[in-house]
Amino acid sequence: MPLVSLVPMRTPAVDPTLRPRPHVLDPRVTERRNPRSAEIDLASPLEIVDLMNAEDRGVAEAVGTQRTAIARAIELVEATFRAGGRLFYVGAGTSGRLGVLDASECPPTFGTDPQMVQGIIAGGAPALVRSAEGAEDLPDGARADLTVAGVRRGDFVLGIAASGTTPYVRAALEHARALGARTGILACSPPAPDVIEAVDVAILPITGPEVMTGSTRLKAGTATKLVLNTITTGAMVRLGKAYGNLMVDLRASNVKLRDRAERLLMVTCGVSRDDARTVLGRADGSVKVAIVMQKLGLDRATAESRLATAGGVIRRVVPDAPPPVG
């Protein structure tokens, strides 16, 4: 389906720290020194807080400049999921950890299979809790890790590299393309032109030099988290895992989830807890199916069929919106 019309965003003024400098030894924006934090070693705690907060204010604006690319990524991920493919995040260090974090949050948030969104980090699971910085320089490690994960044609691989130059990520993208997977790059310093030209989407929120030179867990890490949040949330919403802004694609499989599911039915359908419990039982614990059953007076099989025909989106089956917030 076509995207909602995209309103042009005001282009922010160019930060002087981002302009090319012929004398700078390292061209990566994330490796440059930030003149605004040059005296941070003499700052008081409150001055440090104010300085970092001021720097962080520009992160959301940098992400906003990439709105069209992020929307394109949502489209690609949605199409991948609907065709039975999977989303893989690939990164090293902080970038890899953020990918694993976002992937691990999808099952509890959206009720997805853990295989649907996966994070691959250079150095494997130990690198999540202990630095394995040398692993980012091993292209063979990326190819091996993608092979073990079973990346194949029809999947989508998003490489995350704050600096835009990580060999592990670059090798992963090359290998994924060779397998027939779609690819994307998320970086906070412009990658080489050949990397951008080779991927299906390039998301480049340029956040500028860090408060601590080269510490990309700061602004670059925050921007990365914002982008990943938006991609997975956007794709899941498009798949029909929300009714209004309610997360309804869950199955009542334990006490906590049964309580949450019953409350969702009570709010969306205006029924008592006892009635909600009864409908959920007939819906085999599926909140989405129960909502359609209750609102349209259908049996479970018919409600499931209607949802399948509508691509899983409740609002294409049930015309009314959830009750207003209040």
Active site residues: 105, 136
Q: What is the CATH number of domain 245-316?
A: 1.10.8.1080
pLDDT 10s digits, 299-313 = 999 999 999 999 999
**pLDDT tens by residue, 168-206:** 999 999 999 999 999 999 999 999 999 999 999 999 999
pLDDT digit string (tens) for 87-139?
999 999 999 999 999 999 998 888 899 999 999 999 988 888 887 666 666 77
Question: Could you report the per-residue pLDDT of 3-31, keeping only the tens digit for each?
Answer: 333 333 333 444 555 555 554 556 788 87
Where in the chain are all domains bearing CATH 3.40.50.10490? Answer: 26-238
- In angstroms, what is the C-alpha Rg of the chain? 22
270 sits in the region (left: phi over 0; alpha: psi -120 to 50; else beta) called left
When pLDDT is averaged across residues 246-264 and rounded to a whole number, the result is: 85
User: From the centroid of its chain, how far is CA 48?
Assistant: 30
Alpha carbons 114 and 144: distance in angstroms, whole number: 21
CATH of domain 26-238: 3.40.50.10490
Tell me, what's the pLDDT at 147?
Answer: 96
Mean pLDDT of the chain: 88
User: What pLDDT score was predicted for residue 8?
Assistant: 37
Give whole-number Cα distances, 14 to 18, 100, 240, 243, 280, in Å. Answer: 7, 32, 39, 40, 55
What Å distances lie between residue 109 and 241, 248, 298, CA to CA? Answer: 10, 10, 27
Instruction: Say if pTM beats, i.e. exceeds, 0.95.
Output: no
Residues of the chain with CATH 1.10.8.1080: 245-316
| C-beta neighbour count of 46 within 10 angstroms | 8
Q: Please, are residues 112 and 74 in contact by the beta-carbon 8 Å criterion? A: no
Query: Per mean pLDDT, which range of 81-90, 243-252, 267-276 is the poorest?
Result: 243-252
Q: What is the pLDDT of residue 117?
A: 98
